[in-house]
Structure 1
């Protein structure tokens, strides 16, 4: 996936807070109020020391100090909660945006990215955004105000001590900025390593049984372990830079404290500073530690968050399909669609071989059309083009006489029922799998589809029937059961055009015969296109297209093609449909 480096991470992070800015402002004000109470505490302590030196009562000041401590703590805690809630809201918002973007990616774009890396960006990188929207933004602002306020008051107490303190603050700023750059680079590499590990795991889970059957567990564990080790090493590098930055900041602070103590002691001895003022100054030095450490951490968090923002923005910048609407329950009256390919030329991407070379054919409405041919002839790609998963380089594809590029995408796909070659099944209930993308489906409609798609045994086998749970990618189902669920899902849409890509290849003879009858019945009310390697499943089709090397070389019925097309004759001969 190409890198996307935003020019202003803070501006992008702030854009994510749209809709939460009032809450963010309230949290900031509360945090600032807590800071103000903290700033007042050393001044009150100074007055207490002055009164003690003069043998004056301090009960009122002690009560005032206790109240400032308690109230400041409560207000600061409330402000922290409000700000953190904004951070959580930002994470939720960005995750929603990413989920919408990922599921609407154009198919060629999705082909070029790793699914595991997308998951990592959705889950892990979005969590890091909280560091930018809270610690790196709000906390740094309040820390800056606290730092400036402390320095101003410290300057009013003694300008000489302030000069010592400012020297330390400037030195820390240089160290922090230098280390923050390294933290950002190391963090970006660490997040990439986590994304790669997620990609490996997604690959293994997607082919779980294949890995086991091949005895490749140890090899895959080795790859995952190596990826985890890489992520660990890069994470340690981040931790190392963060530790070095924090230790350097702490060392400079402690050194400056000792310097202030020495210089201040000398000034007290010389009578240029009272002991109460020195103690108050030292209290402000202690108070100064928190905003300084916060700012030091904020620089590192900003760099870490910036790397996360860059990875999130890279996904948000990917090309997506036009937004459609959710399919409603299919209506009872739907006309049958016609299809026409006119001189279509198509390749998946530049540099790859051409898949279709001037493909031309017509599919009449209300008939079954079969597509056959050797592997690699371009059969499955026809269906991908009809669904507009990809765009053609030249030519036209018409549905009902209108170029599919002029159809609203949601309307086009709503008119099509598509059973893929792999017959994917989603983790969820059987009902959810059948009604995928549909709303308002009654139990009566579902049971009708269960009968048509020969799903009775699946319903009986699942605890809960229609609401029984199907595991990850339908791993507990047979290939034939997954195919029947996919067919049922397509039939439930009552499509005007039904596309079946090797839809019965995993079925036994009994179920195949029953479903062939179902498909034949469906062709009476809808247009059906079938891709088949087993010619026995399509011998009754109204027309059969024979494809070879990206072209339609012949078209006719089963009997006609047996008479004149050598490729079809060879296919029939190898499948024992004609004598050898």
Structure 2
């Protein structure tokens, strides 16, 4: 094992341990950013809802006219037809409004998921390493789902609720100002409850969402090493950890539900109490002759219609508090740094084949540390790898060997010094151009879920069948592929679980070779191969080194004894450079490494 990023603590902004509600202004700015691309359809849904509410508000007046017609023994056909038409029109407009808003909400969620998925895959490696993959996954899945409510239903319901409430109060005032004063207590009572409950809902929801993210991170951690968990007999302990996170999410969810229930109940209760008060006061006014019965009936209908805008406002407030927690977590992803190059071209576009001769690599006095508070991993690394041929990097664990490749790929950047590719500082080379020139085989040889073909052409989506066959032969995978039931289209399982360790390594090497790189980086490429396959792969590497530049990090010196040059590293510095025979003669550290592997 060589030096990797130390186990940095996961980023826990807004974790369940102590999150706090997001400032209202920031939340609104983030919400508007989500709504702006769908503003026209959101406005259309809102206008349809307002039109439906207007049709509903006219109904009490039509009912009053109907009662007046009945008391005068006039024909009620026209008024009854009008009232029926208003009921049907209001229902149709509200249904259409709900569909338009629901359609828009799904579009908001879809756009957010597209944006987040693209951003997560372009995160800078240091930021990604400080995060928990399971928590990031929860933000793309569960957190974006909450946008469905807050970005359309909440905003539109609040606007429609305010306008409808104003319209109801105006019409009630026109009917009878005295009864309106009796009803005003509804708004005061509900406002007091909402003011009390809002911050509590916000805090509970923020913590619940953070707990969901923590639960996803805990579960992903266990599933990512399922065999190790099972072999260690740790199923119950890992299950308990997931359950603790789930229990915490449940606890905060129940707290939010309690206050939401209180807000919802307060609206209905206050309207019912107002109804009794208005019925008593209105009955007295009818008895005194101040108003007629039709006016009281219309007023009572308006009082019941008051329930809907009040409920809309309460629901909008609740949804806003729930959505604000999700918006805050999505906002955190937007604040993470991403690589600046545009994303790679999609499958089906022209294949980019690095042109030009084999690359030259130079490290000039490179110093690197993962974080300012950590010690240096590299302490003035100096060496050169000329174009074409194989350069091997060896040394004890922790010497900083694999980190050289992380710097070459610009997963990290030097603290000081320069890394040159063909004489150019790699910090000045566009990332897409830099990485197109490099084939990189990681130490653990990751394989993605999908088919074997999908993995082989990951870096070369337009590779021909002939190129694929050629690389399979070169990596000794051709016989293995012929033995598979569906050949190249055989699924490899999650993280390549249906392949052996050696097969995964050869697939990773074939994937890199298929790209036709000018620089090939192999990090412990033969660590999981048996002797026969290691010898075969050494021949593949030597053949590749005749056409391109190959850099190899190796613990097993048998892999690199034929290298053109070997760089010996110790404690973050280059100790010496030479061939296998030269180093055996003059370097004690290399001689000890070779002796432990029976190479002397």
Q: TM-score, normalised by structure 1?
A: 0.97
Partner Cα separation in structure 1 for residue 96 and residue 440 of structure 2: 54
Q: Unaligned stretches of 5+ in structure 1?
A: none
Question: 1:382 corresponds to which residue?
Answer: 404
Establish whether residue 361 from structure 1 lines up as the match of residue 379 from structure 2: no
Deviation at 1:74?
1.1
Superposed, 1:2-151 pairs within 5 Å as 2-3=13-14, 5=22, 7-151=25-169
Question: 1:243 corresponds to which residue?
Answer: 261
**Cα gap change, 1:202/1:155 in structure 2, threshold over 3 Å: closer, same or farther?**
same
Deviation at 1:571?
0.5
Q: Is the 8 A contact 2:556 2:597 kept in 1?
A: yes
Question: 1:195 corresponds to which residue?
Answer: 213
SS of 1:428's equivalent? coil
Deviation at 1:458?
4.0
Superposed, 1:297-312 pairs within 5 Å as 297-312=315-330
Q: Is the 8 A contact 2:441 2:509 kept in 1?
A: yes
- Matched pairs, number: 578
Deviation at 1:334?
3.4
* 1:489 maps to which of 504, 511, 533: 511
Deviation at 1:333?
4.9
Q: Is the 8 A contact 2:353 2:436 kept in 1?
A: no
Partner Cα separation in structure 1 for residue 355 and residue 163 of structure 2: 69
**Cα gap change, 1:458/1:19 in structure 2, threshold over 3 Å: closer, same or farther?**
farther
Question: 1:556 corresponds to which residue?
Answer: 578
Deviation at 1:81?
0.7
Question: 2:314 corresponds to which residue?
Answer: 296
Deviation at 1:361?
0.3
User: Which stretch has the larger CA shift, 551-560 or 249-258?
Assistant: 249-258
Q: Unaligned stretches of 5+ in structure 2?
A: 1-10, 15-20
Deviation at 1:461?
4.5
Partner Cα separation in structure 1 for residue 557 and residue 29 of structure 2: 61
Partner Cα separation in structure 2 for residue 484 and residue 119 of structure 1: 30
Q: Is the 8 A contact 2:419 2:425 kept in 1?
A: yes
* 1:408 maps to which of 407, 430, 439: 430
Partner Cα separation in structure 2 for residue 461 and residue 406 of structure 1: 46
Establish whether residue 512 from structure 1 lines up as the match of residue 534 from structure 2: yes
Q: Is the 8 A contact 2:439 2:521 kept in 1?
A: yes
Partner Cα separation in structure 1 for residue 159 and residue 85 of structure 2: 25
Deviation at 1:207?
0.4
Question: 1:450 corresponds to which residue?
Answer: 472
Partner Cα separation in structure 2 for residue 96 and residue 306 of structure 1: 20
SS of 1:510's equivalent? helix
Deviation at 1:171?
2.0
Q: Is the 8 A contact 1:452 1:518 kept in 2?
A: yes
Partner Cα separation in structure 1 for residue 51 and residue 446 of structure 2: 57
Deviation at 1:142?
1.2
Question: 2:413 corresponds to which residue?
Answer: 391
Q: TM-score, normalised by structure 2?
A: 0.94
Q: Is the 8 A contact 1:479 1:506 kept in 2?
A: yes
Partner Cα separation in structure 1 for residue 266 and residue 344 of structure 2: 56
Partner Cα separation in structure 2 for residue 313 and residue 186 of structure 1: 19
User: Which stretch has the larger CA shift, 401-410 or 27-36?
Assistant: 27-36
Partner Cα separation in structure 2 for residue 461 and residue 43 of structure 1: 81
* 1:521 maps to which of 543, 550, 557: 543
Question: 2:200 corresponds to which residue?
Answer: 182
Deviations 1:537-574 (A, max 9, x none): 11000000111110110100000000000000001101
Partner Cα separation in structure 2 for residue 145 and residue 463 of structure 1: 66
User: Which stretch has the larger CA shift, 529-538 or 504-513?
Assistant: 504-513
SS of 2:36's equivalent? coil
